[in-house]
Amino acid sequence: MTFLVLYLSREGILQSLDVTALAGFFSVPPETIIPLTVYVASPKAGITLLGPLIQNGGISETKAIMVLMLGSLFMLPFYSLRSLLPNYTGVFGMRLGLTLVIFSTSISMLVRMSVLVALLIAT
């Protein structure tokens, strides 16, 4: 997945998407939307794309943290369905496993949302 995402990015396919409205909605620079969407699919590839923006001075470290928090907020439900749900239901049974995944994912998303809101207020 990382290879595919990096290849599509290098070929310019991901950059051709018009996502300026989405960037304005979340108060992040438009150039970070591609690394953000890539991060949801593959965190390693998203961080790889975000690194040069930080090094070139295109975005600040605070904005980079905001982008990563936002990306992890979107990634968490997919991760929970893909990894936690099969593990928890296999160990604890369907009802308790599903309940644990829902509560765990909700608490994690709430914490990440709180940090993101704190960063938005601080900037």
Q: What 3 state SS string does the chain have?
A: CHHHHHHHHHCCCCCCCCCHHHHHHHCCCHHHHHHHHHHHHCHHHHHHHHHHHHHCCCCCHHHHHHHHHHHHHHHHHHHHHHHHHHHHHHHHCHHHHHHHHHHHHHHHHHHHHHHHHHHHHHC
Task: Specify the amino acid at residue 96.
Answer: L
Is residue 7 very low, low, confident or very high in pLDDT (cuts 50, 70, 90)? confident
Asked whether the beta carbons of 93 and 54 are under 8 A apart, the reply is no
pTM of the model: 0.71
Taking residues 14-32, what's their average pLDDT? Answer: 68
Q: What are the pLDDT digits (tens) for 101-110?
A: 999 999 999 9
